[in-house]
Each structure stands twice: as C-alpha cells, then as structure tokens.
Amino acid sequence: MKLNNSQLLKTQNYINGLWCEGTGKLAVTDPATGELLAEIADGSAADAERAVGAAHDAFPEWSRRTAAERAAVLKRWYQLIAENREDLARLLTLEQGKPLAEAMGEIDYGASYIEWYAEECRRAYGQTIPTHNPAMRLHTIRQPVGVVSCITPWNFPNAMITRKAAPALAAGCTVVIKPASETPLSALALCALAEQAGLPAGTLNVVVGTDSAAIGKVLTQDPRVAKFTFTGSTPVGKLLMAQCASTIKKMSMELGGNAPFIVFDDADIDMAVSACMATKMRNAGQTCVSTNRIYVHESVHDVFVDKLRAQMERLQPGHGLDAGTTFGPLIFRRAVDRVHGLVEEAVANGARLLLGGDFLPNGENYYAPTLLTEVHDEMRIAREEIFGPLAVVQKFRDEDDVIQRANDTPFGLAAYVMSENIHRANRVVEALEYGMVACNAGVFSTTVAPFGGCKESGIGREGGVEGMAEFYETKYCCYGV
Ligand code: NAD
C-alpha cells in the first residue's frame, strides 16, 4: 500500500498513548479485490478494560484544562488531518471501497467536526437563574460527563469517529473507541495524528477486535464509563441499550433508517433525480440516510423513472482508486447476497425490474445499480433498510395518503420531500415523523446542524450545539447567602 506518510499505517491498538499488540491478528481486506491490506492486532475484552482504565486516569487532567487549551490541541489535530487528507482518503477507499472523491469528502466532513467543536467548547456557558428565595443564589455549570465509550460502523470509518470523539474531547471527556473490524485502518490513522497533535496519553484510545460482543460488554457495562455512544444497526443498538441499563449510562444511538423520498407533481424533476441519485447511490447505497422508498406522484412517475434510470446507467463501477470510478463495491459478500435476495423476492412478488438486478463482473462484492418499480408497501424491500444500490419506486396519488405511508415504519431517521410549492413543502416536512427532513436536497448532513433520528432510529443528536450538549452534565449549584 503506497502512502506519502507511512506513519499513518498503524496495525496495533492504541491504548494509554502506546501502540499495543492484541491476542491474535485480524485481517483487513480491500472489498474491491479481496486483497489483504494489513494484519491488525486483534484486541480483547481485557484490552478494552485497560483502555477504559487509561481514559479514566487521563480524565482529571484533561477535563481541568481550559477550553482554549483543549481547543489548541484539537486544532492541531484538524490541521494534521487536512495536511494528510489524500493519504487518509486513500486508506479509507482501500478498506471501505467508496470512490476516492467520496472518501476525500468524508475526510473533509470528518475533520470539520474537530475544527467546529474546538471553537464550540469555548461557549460552554452556564446560567444564572432568577432566584425563588432572596436568601439563595442559583446557577448552573456544565461539566464533562467523564469517560465516553464509542462503537462505530464501517460505512463512514472516519467521520463516524470524529463526530463522536471531537465533541467529547472538546467538552473535556476522555474517549475509548471500538471501530468496525472491517475498517480499523482509518481509526488508527486518526489516532496517529492525534498523538502527533499532542493529545495526552489515555485521552483517546482505540481497541479493534473481532470479538465485538466481549469488547462491547466492557464498553457498555464498566462502571467507569459515564456515557456510551453507538452508530450502527437497530438490532445491535437495542442489545447495547439493554447492556447500558445495568449502570444507567447516558446514551446516544444513531441507528438504521428507512427513508422515504417523496416526489410531488409540482417538483423540479431534474433536481429531484439529482437529489435521489445523491442520497441513493452515494457509498453504493450504504448510508443510514440513504433513500429506501421512492414515492412518486402518478402524474410524473414515468418521466421521473426514465430520468433516474438514465442517471443510474451512467454510474461507472470500478475500484475506488481508479480515475472515473463513481460506484464501488459493497462492504462484503454477505451484503451483496442480502441485496440480491431482496430483489429476487420483490420480483417474485410482482415488482418490475428496469435495471440491474444482478452481480457485476468487477469483483465478488459488486452489485449492479438496480431500479425496481411497481413495488408495494408490504414487500420486505419497502419495510427493511436496504443498505445497497437499489432504487425502489412506488406511485402515489394523494398528499395525506403518501404522508401516512411514509410514516408507517418503526424508523424515523431521514426523509426527503421534492416540491416547488412552499405551502405543501411546509405541511409535509412538518407532518413527517423523522429526525431530519431534506426538502429539495439530497445531501444535507453538516457539522453545524443536529444529525439523528426518532423512533427506532435512535436517541440523541450528533453535530451542532446539540451534539456538544450530549457530553456535558448540567450541574445546578445553589448558594445560601
Ligand atoms: P452493526 O450494528 O452490525 O455494527 C456497528 C458496530 O457495532 C460495529 O463496530 C460492530 O463491530 C459492532 N457490533 C456488532 N455487534 C455487536 C455486539 N453484539 N456488541 C458490541 N458491538 C457490536 O452495523 P453495521 O452493519 O456496521 O453498519 C450499518 C448500520 O449502521 C446500518 O443500519 C446503518 O443505518 C447504521 N448507521 C447509522 C448511522 C446514523 O447516524 N444513524 C450512521 C451510519 C450507519
């Protein structure tokens, strides 16, 4: 693997400022080719315990630093990421598969959380509260919660880490992260740069391990951990929430989605198609806010489908590092087989296959961009999170009916509305039971705004001022005078 800065390729866990071996080895492979990229130290529950201990010991010193002192270290980290962005993006593409331009976008997006929270921690204001009793003075102060443990997924191996670690560290917390074992290289490269930036030993720790369940138990049950934050699937999130109950941890959960994408008859169809492509085909459909169900008004259905199909046909599958590639592999074969199973089942139940529907010759993890129409709400493809490059189109006639269908899911992460009518857009945006709604846009996530879901899509928010609040305790201080 060729990197300009060879210091970024780390193959050991990072605990208490030291690079440590694990109990065995874990293979990291390129999902585009199956080629072995690196063998990483396979961490254990005991390593996770040591990491929690290190974070616990580092907390008093780090949390007592002034916000400006913490900000200075975080800004150095941000600058080092910016200086190494090409290498970080290359590493990300190699282990995750997304096209290099998307990986560059993720590195910039991920780094923006570090820069923004380095600024935001200077504004951790408390309140002076008008008193109920002349003999008392009432104030609140905000203090870091303590040790924060994080488990992150493989689909955004860089940004899902910085979105948690940056506000936690900025608030004065110390952090232990278990990244997905498919994509640990991005996490370890971030640690190498954090170390270079001067983050003290024990402040940020990464334990990679194939035994997620054992490591997860430590991160959710160790009493020294004050807060647990997870990004991943809803079933695993439910399990981890239950584990957190024994010590009443604070929790944030960024879980799965089943995003509706509603195209009204008054939409700008070209804009709607571009937005749909961005939300549906980015990262080969493996994003939590990816469009799952496309509802198109019956009067514009055919024109929308024709234009979407034309755009999908232009996608260029290939290795993410090759020039011209706009469409990469899925993360592993299991995901490809699952997606193919959903397509076969939908077609057997009456869906119409307009494009794709099969494996691609590029490699065993590639699945063709696939377009299905005449899908029904009862089909599994419309009820489950797809997490693959399947565009699934249904017709609708009536505004109230489509709102009801869009809300008829246990998920509530992201939704999309395409309409040029501001009155309708307002009505529908407000009626959708989702944590985030994008109107006439396909890509909306930004550092400065709260990201997160309701219902079974999660608890809490990441990004913006809400994302910072997750890592503070508000302490009420009452003084007799
Ligand atoms: P996953 O739940 O299988 O894995 C996520 C992480 O949890 C990985 O690090 C994995 O190793 C770990 N894990 C799995 N089982 C565990 C256990 N028993 N104990 C402890 N840790 C365990 O999810 P995934 O397949 O890696 O990621 C895809 C999912 O993540 C999708 O559902 C997607 O929607 C969701 N996601 C949500 C957001 C969001 O912000 N809401 C963002 C990205 C991804």
Q: What is the DSSP letter of 317?
A: B
How far, CA to CA in Å, does 290 sit from each of 59, 150, 256, 257, 443? 37, 23, 10, 8, 10
Quick one: which atom of ligand 1 is closest to the CA of 178?
A: 9
Quick one: which atom of ligand 1 is closest to the CA of 288?
A: 34
pLDDT of residue 1: 78
CB neighbours (10 Å) of residue 302? 12
Contacts of 43 (CB under 8 A, 6+ apart): 13, 22, 23, 178, 207, 208, 209, 215
Quick one: which atom of ligand 1 is closest to the CA of 152?
A: 9
pLDDT of residue 340: 98
Compute φ and ψ for 284, nearest 5 degrees. 50, 35
CA-closest candidate to residue 347, choices 367, 369, 376, 305: 376
CA-closest candidate to residue 167, choices 255, 252, 277: 252
Give per-residue pLDDT as tens, 357-389.
999 999 999 999 999 999 999 999 999 999 999
Token pair listed for 361: 């010759």
ipTM attached to this prediction: 0.94
Q: Are 460 and 253 in contact (CB under 8 A)?
A: yes
Atom 35 in ligand 1: residue holding the nearest Cα:
232
pLDDT of residue 2: 83
DSSP character string of 356-379 = --SB-TT-TT-B--EEEES--TTS
Q: Are 215 and 44 in contact (CB under 8 A)?
A: yes
Report the Cα 328 to chain-centroid distance in Å: 18
- Tell me which of 95, 228, 255 to substitute to probe ligand 1's pocket, judged by most ligand atoms within 8 Å of the beta carbon: 255
Q: Which residue has the tokens 């995750």?
A: 96
Quick one: which atom of ligand 1 is closest to the CA of 257?
A: 34
Alpha-carbon span 220 to 181, nearest angstrom = 18
Ligand 1 centroid to residue 236 C-alpha, Å: 7
Quick one: which atom of ligand 1 is closest to the CA of 253?
A: 41
Atom 43 in ligand 1: residue holding the nearest Cα:
288
- Tell me which of 222, 231, 234, 252 to substitute to probe ligand 1's pocket, judged by most ligand atoms within 8 Å of the beta carbon: 231
DSSP character string of 152-211 = --SSSTTHHHHHHHHHHHHHT-EEEEE--TTSHHHHHHHHHHHHHHTPPTTTEEE---S-
CB neighbours (10 Å) of residue 152? 27
C-alpha torsion 120→196→229→459, nearest 10: 30
Q: Which residues of the chain fall short of a pLDDT of 50?
A: none
Ligand 1 centroid to residue 235 C-alpha, Å: 9
Token pair listed for 152: 């992150």
Alpha-carbon span 394 to 352, nearest angstrom = 11
Alpha-carbon span 311 to 332, nearest angstrom = 25
Atom 13 in ligand 1: residue holding the nearest Cα:
212
How far, CA to CA in Å, does 164 sit from each of 17, 108, 154, 230, 462? 19, 15, 15, 9, 7
3-state SS class at 148: strand
Quick one: which atom of ligand 1 is closest to the CA of 236?
A: 2
3-state SS class at 135: coil
Token pair listed for 382: 């419309």
Half-sphere exposure of residue 161: CA atoms within 13 angstroms, side-chain side: 28
Ligand 1 centroid to residue 478 C-alpha, Å: 42
CA-closest candidate to residue 73, choices 205, 202, 195, 206: 195
Token pair listed for 122: 């200077």
Alpha-carbon span 432 to 417, nearest angstrom = 10
3-state SS class at 348: helix
Ligand 1 centroid to residue 474 C-alpha, Å: 29
Q: In the structure, which protein residues have their CB atom closer than 6 angstroms to any atom of ligand 1? A: 151-156, 160, 178, 180-181, 212-213, 216, 231-233, 236, 239-240, 254-257, 288, 385, 387, 413, 453, 458
CB neighbours (10 Å) of residue 263? 27
Alpha-carbon span 128 to 117, nearest angstrom = 24
Atom 41 in ligand 1: residue holding the nearest Cα:
254
Ligand 1 centroid to residue 403 C-alpha, Å: 28
Token pair listed for 418: 């395409």
Ligand 1 centroid to residue 232 C-alpha, Å: 2
Ligand 1 centroid to residue 17 C-alpha, Å: 26
- Tell me which of 210, 220, 233 to substitute to probe ligand 1's pocket, judged by most ligand atoms within 8 Å of the beta carbon: 233
3-state SS class at 96: helix
Residue type at 38 in one-letter notation: A
- Tell me which of 40, 155, 211, 283 to substitute to probe ligand 1's pocket, judged by most ligand atoms within 8 Å of the beta carbon: 155
Quick one: which atom of ligand 1 is closest to the CA of 220?
A: 20
**Catalytic residue check, 254:** yes
Q: Are 434 and 454 in contact (CB under 8 A)?
A: yes
Write down the catalytic residue from 254, 456, 462, 470. Answer: 254
Give per-residue pLDDT as tens, 242-256.
999 999 999 999 999
Ligand 1 centroid to residue 202 C-alpha, Å: 25
Atom 23 in ligand 1: residue holding the nearest Cα:
232
Alpha-carbon span 58 to 68, nearest angstrom = 18
